[in-house]
Structure formats: structure tokens, C-alpha cells
Amino acid sequence: MGGIDTSRIDAMVAQLRAASARMEGGIPNPVSPATGSASKVDFADMLKGSLDQVNSMQVNADQLGQKFSLGDDKVSLSDVMISMQKANISFQTSIQVRNKLVSAYHDIMNMQI
């Protein structure tokens, strides 16, 4: 518990880049080979896309749960439970990202100039 686990941070950054690439419909290209500079990524759009993805997972899990409870033979209990767990994990991840952002904001605001 002493230090920061950089492998977890790298994994989170990789997930964010993959989500950004899915939203753009292309392959992530953080450095342009022509200019050698980093490409511009709009943080607000990436955050909104992530929150929309979490919301859609929760809506999908809720719909599957309703279908199962109404007796739909096409929906199994395992599908419902897996979709609910995926939605829960994505929600908890977004909460942790929010907590880290708030913590970083407070750290920056408390810095001496």
C-alpha cells in the first residue's frame, strides 16, 4: 500500500485510449508521424462518451432484468447477472475516476505558487 501502482494507471490509460478510439471509429494515434506532436483529444467529449457508455450498459442490464422477470425464454439468468455485473463494474470505475479527478484538482488548487 506504500506507493502508486503504475501498472494499474497504465492499464486505465490504455482503456481510455481504446474507448476514445471506439468513439472515433479508428485506431488510436497519440503521436502524429508527420508532425511528431501529440494529437488533440477533447477531454470533455471523452468523458461524456465514457459516461454515455456506462449509462447504456446500465440501461441494457435493466432491460435484460425486466425481460427475464417477465418470463422471456430468450434471456437466461446468467446473461442478466453478467450484464448487471458489467454495468456495476463500469459504474464503480467511473466513480473511482471521478474521485481521482477531484483529488487531483484539490492537489493542484493547494499548490504553492
Non-local (6+) Cβ contacts of 46 within 8 A are 16, 19, 20, 23
* The predicted structure's pLDDT at residue 25: 64
> What was the pLDDT predicted at 28?
46
Task: Quick: pLDDT tens for 28-49.
Answer: 445 444 444 556 778 888 888 8
The span from the CA of 68 to the CA of 79, in Å, is: 9
Look at residue 47 in the predicted model and tell me its pLDDT: 86
C-alpha cell belonging to residue 63? 432491460
